Amino acid sequence: MRQTIIAGNWKMNGTRASAEALLTELIPLVVDATAKIIVCPPAINLETVSDVIADTNIALGGQDLFWKAKGAYTGQVSASMLLDLGCEYVIVGHSECRGRFGVPEPDFTPTVLAYFGDSDATVNLKLRAALANNLTPICCVGETLSERQAGNTDSVVAAQTKAALSEVSAADATEVIFAYEPVWAIGTGEVCAADEADRVCGVVRSAVADLYGSEVSEALHIQYGGSVNAGNAEALLAKPNIDGALVGGASLKAQDFAAIVNAAP
Under rule CB under 6 A, residue 82 binds ligand PGA: no
Is 88 assigned a catalytic role?
A: no
Q: Which residues on neighbouring strands pair with residue 92, listed in sequence order?
A: 139
Nearer to ligand PGA, 140 or 216 (CB): 140
- Tell me: does residue 248 bind ligand PGA (CB under 6 A): yes
- The DSSP call for residue 4 is P
| DSSP type of residue 116 | S
Chain positions 184 to 213 lying near ligand PGA, rule: CB under 6 A, are 186-187
**Least distance in Å: CB of 170 to ligand PGA?**
27
185 secondary structure, DSSP code: G
Smallest separation (angstroms) from ligand PGA to the CB of 34: 21
Dist CA 215 CA 161 (whole Å): 17
Q: Which is nearer to ligand PGA, 204 or 247 (CB)?
A: 247
Kindly state the smallest distance separating residue 140's Cβ from ligand PGA, in Å.
Answer: 7
Q: What is the largest CA-CA distance in the chain?
A: 48
118 binds ligand PGA (CB under 6 A): no
Residue 130's alpha-carbon distances to 28, 160, 166, 235, in angstroms, are 31, 17, 14, 31
Distance, in Å, from the CA atom of 120 to the CA atom of 248, rounded to the nearest integer, reads 22
Q: Is 143 a residue of the active site?
A: no
Give the catalytic positions in this structure: 94, 181
Query: Applying CB under 6 A, which residues contact ligand PGA?
Result: 9, 181, 186-187, 225-228, 246-250
